[in-house]
């Protein structure tokens, strides 16, 4: 399932269904550790 992009007057919401990438814990994700899972989302964030 591709990510869903919603554009509002005050924000952009990006929803990507699925679980955390293998090898990444919830605690690590809250600490800012990132493992790219979706290359298209990665490209969008880089371009922003």
| Total-model pTM | 0.43
- Higher-scoring residue by pLDDT: 10, 37: 10
Distances in whole angstroms, Cα of residue 41 to Cα of each of 13, 15, 22, 46: 12, 10, 18, 9
pLDDT digits (tens, 9 = 90+) for 1-10: 788 999 999 9
Q: Where are the domains of the chain?
A: 4-17+24-47
- Distance (Å, rounded) from C-alpha 5 to C-alpha 2? 10
Q: Output the average pLDDT for the chain.
A: 86
What percent of the chain lies above the pLDDT cut of 90? 27
């Amino acid at each position: 399932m591709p990510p869903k992009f919603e554009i509002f007057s005050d924000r952009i919401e990006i929803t990507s269904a699925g679980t955390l990438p293998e090898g990444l814990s919830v605690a690590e994700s809250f600490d800012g550790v990132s493992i790219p899972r979706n290359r298209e989302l990665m490209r969008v964030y880089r371009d922003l």
